[in-house]
Structure 1
Amino acid sequence: MAESDNRVVDALSRKFQFAAVLVVSTADWEGIEEEVQQDPKLQGIIQDLIQGREIVVGYEWRNGRLLYHGRLVISKHSKWIPKFLQQFHDSKIGGHSGFFRTYKRISGVLFWDGMKGTIMEYVKQY
């Protein structure tokens, strides 16, 4: 399939990523980064990466942010998780589309420990 044959799918996936960027950009970046700094597990990963030890596969430290397979890492205790869940599930863009689609949308741009379970519980409630 040529790149031009997949424009609709590409446009849709970019729409969801754009929505995520809007939510993240309106969030308090300093607050998100502070939560990461206060998470002992994430701090250990960051220190390992800064010191050149890639003990946990898939993580990278880029431009002052922790990424996991290219996705922004947030603390599993982040106060922003409910906002992300609402945006990706309850909003017009999310469309209450169930666990799998909500998970795919969120996991395309964000990562936190236990996110699959968190998303599953949220979708069951709403």
Structure 2
Amino acid sequence: MTAVKKTWETDPNVRQLVADLSQDANSHPNYSWVNETLIRKGKVVVGHDPTLQKQLIELYHNSAVGGHSGATVTSKKLGQVFYWKKLQKIVRHHASIHPVEDPPTTDGGNNNAPRVRMKDIQGMPGTKGGLALRLSQFIFAVAALSVMASTSDFASVTAFTCLVVAASLQCLWSLCLAIVDIYALLVMRSLQNYRIVISFAVGDGIASTFTFAAACASAGITVLIDNDLNSCDNNHCLQFETATAMAFISCFSALTSFLLNFWSLASR
């Protein structure tokens, strides 16, 4: 409490507020000066002191005292006792950079046993494995798109056109999520939020299904041209086969991401 009272002296706005209330208790309706304590609607006012505010947030967010709370619960608990401007925004920012860690177990025989959580599994969003999957999806989708688009007559076949569209969609989706994974790794933020995971799962499911369907259609046309019609001399069979193979690899990589996200949702 001593540290909180010091902020009333160092923060000029709060110092003026205390001076006004000392002279006239009704000068600020929402505030009161009781027993040398500055109160706002039943909460102790904390002046502008980022260091002290961070310590209070960590007390309620990270430590066992606060129950290892998330951002929403931390804001609620902290807001019941203290008040300062933009409290909720500061708590959310702190929680995004410092995700909650699980408290140590108290079982005598299992204290040293590592606990495997979904967010620790490589391949999940926000992990290096997840980033590797996104980059592989993007690279193979770009390869399929580039090879197929390099042919002059792909637009004359509906299946090949669908492959180009599907590969473009896969490129855009995987690149966006790769950027999200890079950001999460840089700031050490967990992406194991229910809404985030379900969005990733739905997007991966749609993208992988569309790419798989287009690749299957392209494979069928390629087999028709090569084996049934024997017309490879007049067509770009090698490019068609290469683009189709790249699309399949990108699709299976996206399917892996989908299954991991789906597993995460099912295990909650």
What range is the shorter-chain TM-score in? 0.5 to 0.7
Post-superposition shift, 1:70?
1.3
Match of 2:29 in 1: 57
Aligned pair count? 98
Using the size of structure 2 for normalisation, the TM-score is: 0.34
| Structure 1 gaps, min length 5 | 1-23
Alignment of 1:1-126 (within 5 A): 24=1, 29=2, 31-52=3-24, 54-126=26-98
Three-state SS of the structure 1 residue aligned to 2:13 is helix
Equivalent residues of 1:32, 1:78 under 8 A apart: no
Residue 97 of structure 2 aligns to which amino acid in structure 1?
Answer: Q
TM superposition outliers: structure 1 runs of 4+ over 6 Å = none
Q: Distance in 2 between matches of 1:123 and 1:63?
A: 34
Gaps of 5+ in 2: 99-268
Higher relative contact order (CA 8 A, sep 6+): 1
Q: Greater CA deviation, 51-60 or 67-76?
A: 51-60
Contact 1:99 1:120 in 2 (8 A): yes
Q: Is the 8 A contact 1:76 1:114 kept in 2?
A: no
Q: Give the match for residue 7 of structure 1.
A: none
Q: CA RMSD in A?
A: 1.8
Superposed CA offset, 1:12-68 (max 9, x none):
xxxxxxxxxxxx5xxxx1x43222112111112112211115343321101111111
Q: Percent identity of the aligned residues?
A: 22
- Larger strand fraction of residues: 1
Q: Per-residue deviation at 1:96?
A: 3.9
Contact 2:25 2:32 in 1 (8 A): no
